[in-house]
Structure 1
């Protein structure tokens, strides 16, 4: 409500110590705007204005969410979104809705609906800008416009893959009409789409035919001609959708939140802004890669899409889509087109313009001219297919069969046009390449070597490009591709890089690193209180038990479920927790109690046994000393670990709305989160251990007799326990800690990844090997990923013994 927003804005401004004039200056808005918002005269603040105010106030994540939620709530929403007859609610097509016969809505209700639409329009505008910026950068990285986009064309798909034209045209019963003319070129895709009344289009094409390039161009051209009220086209990699676990709309909202974390804020017509955009039809899904959905899920996926009437664009390979259609039905109300092959005329126009002119002689000739001549392309202009194209030899026929897709032409351009000293005439060597398949493997194999060749040029703003050995780069990329193949996903998520290892390996590596870390910390800090010899033994005991306990904990909470620890944030606000968060906190409490009891008793027993042995107390007294110390330390750590684990579980929350939207920034954000956890949790756990020790030495003497304990012992135990406990928790149960364990230590140590992995991934993205999809990386094409994974597995496979061995 406006009054709620006004009061909240006034309070936050005063807490920040700002005047209205200061806030207006920092936010870049007028003073009258601030006054109107705080007095309630301006009852409908725009989302963009609210974000500017939140930035100027420097709000914490929870305050930012609260301010945004108060801005988008309107009168009549006290019972939550979805109540009443809003503009986003469903209606019956062809018949007047029930409320059409009702009296006209009061002016206040009309203003409410208008304000909701205006708020969603603001959010849609911001989403459109982010989507346009992202895919413009992607086209630049792919060199789509250098020197010009390859001429993609399409034609109508077979009728059995297209719905009835009456359904596509949205015609009433009894009215029949013929098919639409849907053929076209790349720059006509938006016009073709808008000729489809249903707004549902299926784009079919074989591997490398340019489906993703077409999807990107559709999004950018659609955004150029989009009005404020039109839906925003957004590309979704549909291969990650499990239709048996998540509804289509919920999956869309989740993917939007992943790629655009700002949309996780509470929305006016749903649990989040992302959900509100989806439910109100302000997102036009461009679903790329239907063929990448697991085979057993394609039928339920198609059935789920048919259960909705959302306009959409779907890309797929023809065979996978046809198989899903044979099992169920075509995509309801959807027209289908198929991408056609590039022609030799297209190659003759494109390839010579990608390379330098010949030095000396005829300046119009290029290194591609002999190849094009062998392919049977005569000189002179002409339309596709009218030059009498026909290869002159088997070598020309093989190459002509390969260079029919944009992917292969792009690879040929990268290997031969963009690489000095590479002569494309070698592609006609039938001794090396006896078939089209061998030529394709050659181009895929040389792509990595080509893009990683040493280059002296300077990249503005990023310094000189670091040289990477092509063979090492190929091996590291091959491991990453193999890792994605094992996980059956195209998304390279930094927090899951250890998930490709066996669960036992992950557990053992995590336990060993925790043992080493805690042992070293115990030795380093403990020498401030005791002798080095004593601390070496103590560090060995602490490291061994900590590694075992956190290893078991990691197995129980992570490895046994064959999952990964996802990035999370820390929320200091305790109120408003849902049942899931409370249950997670209770589970963590029980786990902490068990870990504290076993660790404390084990450590205490070893320490007591060591002391008894050092003072020659005899076996009976030594065992008794171990038992007594085990009970003291066991009680102390039980009282500390249980509440500490439970508190961390209660404070964990999804990343706030200011989270980064690219992998490197997300990693830095999570690193700061874990650092904050360490700074808060370490002293908290240390104090709880000291408190637990105080309770133990007061309660247990009645059972065990007098206990020798000093304040120095409490300080030492609290300090070491806080540091070791926080480090152990971070390494085993946080996303950043798992990144350190596997991506920064274990995988580089075993040679499977480079030591500077972030720099390597960013460099691969700059070179065009990888692309960014929100918070994850993806290989620029699934075909390249498959090739690299296959090459990696072949290199690691045991070689058969040669004769005579």
Structure 2
């Protein structure tokens, strides 16, 4: 008997004029699967399979949602599958008024509020409205960079129509976007032309007029996307979860809330920085974008987008515009209003910018005026000039006309970029260290640390400064060695300090050294295989620990975690016991055969003890995990603190639980082992000592190697400051850089204020050169 899903799938396939065989080949599924779904023989359509079919059919957002909703309803109506667990994959909203629809609508509303608050703060921080937003205008681009207007207008076969009028300025961007039936717009502009400003304004204006059923515009820095490793929809869901960990909670249909929002069209992606995608990945990125029907707004520099189009095709159904340069009239209106009035200036008070503007008006053909006019054509350069000269009264902008210092426009741009960081870190008159809330950093040291961060991002080919990836400035082997070294010291200190309560100082000193080396080695090996070898990072936790009170569970299976804990404890214990037995045997000059026999016995004993302790401990931790609130941790420091609290609670549970289980487990394990291995010397004191050291040492080893907060501590709080790459107070430095306008916040990560500034600082870090201060007067024009 066919169902609503079966009939809908068959109808959509026929409308696409595809056979079952053609659909199977394009979707990458079996013909028998499609035949079974259409006839109703298969009563459990997996949502992941339905997504593949929807992509292969090229469905519109409305048809895609209907197909996914029918699949979810069928799964619910037909009862649970054989394994009694929901199939993985995104949920859908269902028809208006349904529980599914209302749940996702509520979540989308919370996301909208968070996004609006985030970017309103960012506009204030960047002084966009002080005194007013710089003009951002655009013009149509060449026809070869846009799709056919019939496709943009979503016309039926045979329909023809001319182009739409897409001209406008900053406060009209939402109206221009809504003229496009396809909902796809490409915004091109050279470096610093205002693409990011336009993206932020688009989001805020769109949210002001957004209805409850409308999609939520969210800015994604697309430069960090690798289309060969992850699909667009999965990447969007991952980015949402990163910025709002509460969206990792299970949603309708078993998927995460983030994935459900993306799949049901409740997120309008604003993909900022297509040009920041790595060179070899732009073509597959554009092909991946064309494989979806998602409405979106994409920004890029013109040359990178044109090159990708030449290699493959335009963005399907997308119109495109290009941002235009600022003119002299824009500068004359804006720059004088950014600085203080000169004394005795009469009815129209003169400003420091007047001589410069007069030179541009009256002698446009002079070398000085031509160079400066070529530079001050983008909002970025005008903003830098304002920061260096308007916001610093003792800097005279007439210095920009000195052709002996600045012979080319490029030298002027480098001067503004160089002096931006020096200016914002310059101590203000009357300010004394410690007299206010803002920390004082030496300008040269600050520029060096910022250069390291910029170099770090350039190496990783990403604009996102993620605190949990700061250790990736080191290559995989050094990163593993540093992690092992910190764990070695931590476990050695725990063993040495705790052990002195039970044994002599001299013995415990040697024992602590051995325990530290073994712990560092084994946790280092675990870190290598689980993290470093894959060249990944330990991601921040998306849960919090709730010991008291009953709340939603995190969705993780305690039994699965118990099994993983038993396996890891067994492997770790066997390795620890065997190596420790070998070291002790060689230390006491025991014969090799006896050393090997005793080491195998020790390995077996420790393996059983640690397995019996680690399994229940991991399973118990799962019972106390609950999803984070959807609105939690929407900035880098918030996410760091939230993860710090989660890790602290985990360790408070882990250390005593694991320690007690190891202590009691050792007593239980020794008795049967004694019958198998012969007499074993063990008593309550030895069990207590092992339990305390194992609980504390194991907790620290897990903390530093397998949690994001622990990795932050190892590299950002210890190693990088110790080697001079970053200051000791990294959080204070990053927040201070954000307050000064060098960095911006994009959800849970920092980014440099502009990609041009990042690349300039990275280049300066790699090849330092003399700094030219901003002070000085005009020279020969």
Q: TM class by shorter-chain length?
A: 0.7 to 0.9
1:587 Cα shift?
A: 6.0
Q: Which residue of 579, 588, 593 maps to 2:570?
A: 593
Contact 1:644–1:681 at 8 Å: present in 2 too? no
1:199 paired residue number: 183
Matches within 5 A, 1:769-788: 769-788=742-761
Matches within 5 A, 1:133-212: 133-212=117-196
1:454 Cα shift?
A: 1.6
1:83 Cα shift?
A: 13
Q: Which residue of 277, 281, 284 maps to 1:293?
A: 277
Q: 1:790 to 1:92 in 2, by over 3 A?
A: closer
Deviates more, 1:275-284 or 1:261-270: 261-270
SS in 2 for 1:795: coil
Q: Which residue of 439, 444, 452 maps to 2:417?
A: 444
Q: Which residue of 259, 271, 288 maps to 2:243?
A: 259
Q: How many residues align?
A: 686
1-side partners of 2:157 and 2:565: how far apart? Answer: 60
Q: Which residue of 477, 484, 490 maps to 2:463?
A: 490
1:286 Cα shift?
A: 1.3
1:349 paired residue number: 333
With the length of structure 1 as denominator, give the TM-score of the two structures. 0.78
1:346 Cα shift?
A: 0.7
Contact 1:636–1:695 at 8 Å: present in 2 too? no
Contact 2:540–2:707 at 8 Å: present in 1 too? yes
1:745 matched to 2:718? The reply is: yes
1-side partners of 2:769 and 2:667: how far apart? Answer: 57
1-side partners of 2:137 and 2:154: how far apart? Answer: 26
Contact 1:605–1:628 at 8 Å: present in 2 too? no
1-side partners of 2:487 and 2:59: how far apart? Answer: 59
1:772 Cα shift?
A: 1.2
Contact 1:522–1:535 at 8 Å: present in 2 too? yes
Contact 2:243–2:633 at 8 Å: present in 1 too? no
1:421 Cα shift?
A: 0.8
Deviates more, 1:550-559 or 1:748-757: 550-559
Q: Which residue of 683, 688, 697 maps to 1:710?
A: 683
2-side partners of 1:519 and 1:707: how far apart? Answer: 25
2-side partners of 1:446 and 1:83: how far apart? Answer: 55
2:536 paired residue number: 563
SS in 1 for 2:255: coil
Deviates more, 1:125-134 or 1:648-657: 648-657
1:305 Cα shift?
A: 2.1
1:519 Cα shift?
A: 1.4
SS in 2 for 1:464: coil
1:302 matched to 2:286? The reply is: yes
Q: Which residue of 438, 456, 467 maps to 2:440?
A: 467
SS in 2 for 1:155: strand
Q: Which residue of 260, 263, 266 maps to 1:276?
A: 260
1:404 paired residue number: 377
1-side partners of 2:658 and 2:62: how far apart? Answer: 65
2-side partners of 1:474 and 1:190: how far apart? Answer: 38
1:374 matched to 2:343? The reply is: no
Deviates more, 1:306-315 or 1:690-699: 690-699
Deviates more, 1:645-654 or 1:468-477: 645-654
Q: Which residue of 499, 513, 524 maps to 1:540?
A: 513
Residue by residue over 1:265-292, the C-alpha shift from the partner in whole angstroms, topping out at 9 and shown as x without a partner, is 3334672333333233222221111111
2:9 paired residue number: none
2:611 paired residue number: 642
What is the root-mean-square deviation in Å for CA atoms of aligned residues? 3.5
Q: Which residue of 333, 345, 349 maps to 2:317?
A: 333
2-side partners of 1:145 and 1:110: how far apart? Answer: 41
Residue by residue over 1:728-773, the C-alpha shift from the partner in whole angstroms, topping out at 9 and shown as x without a partner, is 1211121111111111001000000111111111111111111111
1:326 Cα shift?
A: 1.1
Q: Which residue of 121, 127, 132 maps to 2:111?
A: 127
Q: 1:411 to 1:112 in 2, by over 3 A?
A: closer
Residue by residue over 1:28-77, the C-alpha shift from the partner in whole angstroms, topping out at 9 and shown as x without a partner, is xxxxxxxxxxxxxxxxxxxxxxxxxxxxxxxxxxxxxxxxxxxxxxxxx9
With the length of structure 2 as denominator, give the TM-score of the two structures. 0.81
1:112 Cα shift?
A: 7.3
2-side partners of 1:646 and 1:239: how far apart? Answer: 40
1:364 matched to 2:336? The reply is: no
SS in 1 for 2:768: helix
1:675 paired residue number: 648
Q: 1:270 to 1:334 in 2, by over 3 A?
A: farther
Q: 1:561 to 1:654 in 2, by over 3 A?
A: farther
1:240 paired residue number: 224
Q: Which residue of 361, 375, 388 maps to 1:415?
A: 388
1-side partners of 2:163 and 2:514: how far apart? Answer: 78
Matches within 5 A, 1:9-28: none
SS in 2 for 1:777: strand
1:262 Cα shift?
A: 3.1
Residue by residue over 1:291-326, the C-alpha shift from the partner in whole angstroms, topping out at 9 and shown as x without a partner, is 112222222222222233332211111111111111
2-side partners of 1:421 and 1:354: how far apart? Answer: 14
1:656 matched to 2:622? The reply is: no
2-side partners of 1:115 and 1:708: how far apart? Answer: 63
Contact 2:545–2:650 at 8 Å: present in 1 too? no
SS in 2 for 1:336: strand
Contact 2:186–2:319 at 8 Å: present in 1 too? yes
Contact 1:639–1:688 at 8 Å: present in 2 too? no
Contact 2:343–2:349 at 8 Å: present in 1 too? no
Q: 1:207 to 1:645 in 2, by over 3 A?
A: farther
